[in-house]
């Protein structure tokens, strides 16, 4: 029974690592972005033993193990780690902004229900507006449209006629 529980944990880790919602190396390793290097190494060691293809019977254990190794190596490289940290910070700021905007919209809805609208509530409740592109950005000019008149390109060169050929003396 204990062996079965251990194997399901291994399978669960492999499927978690290969799941498409894993956004970055920190998510793959299951740690926060402010983790200490020693804790990161220990977590990597435990997970690598758990999903190693020789120990795990899951058919995609090799892919999970390779993804785990790549994530750990990226967090060991200072330039790649800085890029990952920047992306994590951007995502956190984006989520924080979305939560604050949602709170403002809910407050504006509540004020509208009570009949106490404030300046800017109409724009908040209207939500994001789809930006329409100008026609010139989405439609081809008549000379470039399919089925239109063929473009007039002069690529024919005459051997006998010398007009427009420049100096042909040797």
Average pLDDT over the chain, rounded to an integer: 80
CA atoms within 13 A on the CB side of 23: 12
Composition of the chain by helix, strand, coil, percent to 5: 60, 0, 40
pLDDT at position 84: 92
The pTM is what?
Answer: 0.60
Average pLDDT over residues 43-60: 89
pLDDT score of 79: 94
Taking residue 75's Cβ as centre, other Cβ atoms within 10 Å add up to 24
- pLDDT tens-place string over residues 102-158: 998 898 888 888 888 888 888 888 877 676 677 766 777 777 777 655 555 555 556
What is the structure's pLDDT at 150? 59
pLDDT digits (tens, 9 = 90+) for 75-99: 999 999 999 999 999 999 999 999 9
Which CATH code for domain 2-77? 1.10.287.110
Q: What percent of the chain has pLDDT over 70?
A: 75
pLDDT of residue 45: 94
What's the pLDDT at 94? 93
**Please, which contacts does 87-92 make with residues 24 or more away whose CB atoms are closer than 8 Å?**
87/24, 88/24, 88/26, 88/33, 91/23
Domain chopping of the chain, boundaries: 2-77
Q: What is the mean pLDDT of residues 38-56?
A: 90
Q: CB-based contacts of 47: which residues, under 8 Å, 6+ apart?
A: 13, 29, 30, 68
């Amino acid at each position: 029974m204990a062996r079965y529980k251990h194997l399901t944990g291994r399978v669960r880790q492999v499927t978690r690592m290969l799941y498409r919602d894993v956004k970055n190396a920190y998510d793959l390793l299951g740690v926060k972005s402010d983790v200490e290097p020693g804790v990161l190494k220990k977590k990597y060691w435990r997970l690598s033993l758990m999903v190693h293809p020789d120990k795990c019977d899951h058919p995609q254990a090799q892919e999970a193990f390779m993804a785990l190794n790549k994530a750990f190596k990226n967090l060991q490289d200072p330039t790649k780690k800085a890029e990952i940290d920047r992306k994590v910070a951007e995502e956190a700021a984006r989520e924080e902004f979305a939560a604050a905007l949602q709170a403002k919209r809910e407050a504006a809805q509540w004020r509208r229900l009570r009949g106490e609208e404030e300046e800017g509530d109409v724009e908040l409740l209207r939500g994001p507006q789809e930006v329409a592109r100008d026609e010139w950005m989405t439609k081809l000019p008549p000379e470039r449209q399919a089925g239109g008149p063929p473009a007039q390109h002069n690529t024919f060169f005459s051997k006998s006629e010398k007009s427009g050929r420049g100096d042909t003396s040797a």
